[in-house]
């Protein structure tokens, strides 16, 4: 597609359940990010995938959070045993990254998945 | 180390007056710099980007930003604010090399209010 697609757009789940959030980046984009934005807060970095490099997982808040990117394209963010503090908008972004210097193109963000844990 | 500092968490202006949103950064390599805007209940939209070409960058909706290496600044300006500019604005730095190549660093955001 023309943009970054995230699904579902909204998710309400019960505390303790597992959820999976999906991100379809722009075709050919090598870099993919997951961020989350809580009410009244800034953007919190979660995880970064770049090409075939090992992902930067330094932003994942706990071991309940994990993410994978299959075939260098679609990414899934999984939250196990959800807690109320996990409620937030989860944003995915993708971009091309040049090998010989840094970013040339701006990242394109998806519309996000609004997760509500009740 | 990389960091982005947006100097004002809130900026209020009257419609038709100039807008200045300030951003300072630190970077180990030649960075790329961006401004994103987020309207209420909307996704992040790229306003403009600097990638080592002209230091004065023009973006959408009449916004501009000037990269000043000596001051490590990338302030966002608009000559005349419009009501529709009310939103949250994020200054973002992307590292140009090293182990964190391509990683984005977000400022905490500046909420712009435009009064009629």
Residues in chain A: 118
Q: What is the pLDDT of residue A103?
A: 45
Q: What is the band of B79 on the pLDDT scale with cuts at 50, 70, 90?
A: very high
Mutation target for B interface from A23, A52, A96, A103: give the one with most B CBs within 10 A. Answer: A103
Q: How far apart are CA B9 and CA B16, in angstroms?
A: 21
pLDDT digits (tens, 9 = 90+) for A14-55: 999 999 999 999 988 888 999 998 876 678 889 988 888 888
In chain B, which residues have their Cβ closer than 8 Å to the Cβ of A91?
Answer: 43-44
pLDDT of residue A99: 44
B97 and A CB contact within 8 Å: yes
Q: Nearest CA to A22 among A4, A10, A6, A33?
A: A6
> Running DSSP on this structure, what letter comes out for residue B40?
T
Q: Is the Cβ pair A106, B95 closer than 8 Å?
A: no
If pLDDT is split at 50, 70 and 90, which confidence band does A97 have? low
Quick: pLDDT tens for A56-92: 898 899 999 999 998 878 999 999 999 999 999 999 9
**HSE of B52 in the Cβ direction (CA atoms, 13 Å)?**
12
């Amino acid at each position: 597609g023309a943009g970054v697609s995230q699904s579902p757009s909204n998710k309400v789940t019960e505390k303790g359940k597992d959820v999976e959030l999906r991100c379809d980046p722009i075709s050919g984009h090598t870099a993919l990010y997951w961020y989350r934005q809580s009410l009244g807060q800034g953007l919190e970095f979660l995880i970064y995938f770049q090409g075939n490099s090992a992902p930067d997982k330094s932003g994942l808040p706990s071991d309940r959070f994990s993410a994978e990117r299959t075939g260098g394209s679609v990414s899934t963010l999984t939250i196990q045993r959800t807690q109320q503090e996990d409620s937030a908008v989860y944003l995915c972004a993708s971009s091309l990254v040049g090998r010989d210097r840094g970013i040339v193109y701006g990242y394109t963000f998806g519309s996000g998945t609004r997760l509500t844990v009740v | 180390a990389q960091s982005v500092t947006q100097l004002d968490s809130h900026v209020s202006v009257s419609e038709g007056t100039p807008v200045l949103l300030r951003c300072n950064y630190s970077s180990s390599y030649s960075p790329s710099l961006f401004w994103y805007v987020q309207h209420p209940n909307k996704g992040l939209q790229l306003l403009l980007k600097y990638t080592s070409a002209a230091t004065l960058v023009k973006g959408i909706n009449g916004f501009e930003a000037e990269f000043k290496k000596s001051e490590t600044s990338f302030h966002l300006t608009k000559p005349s604010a419009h009501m529709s500019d009310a939103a949250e604005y994020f200054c973002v730095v992307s590292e140009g090399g090293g182990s964190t190549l391509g990683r984005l660093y977000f400022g905490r955001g500046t909420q712009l209010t435009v009064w009629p």
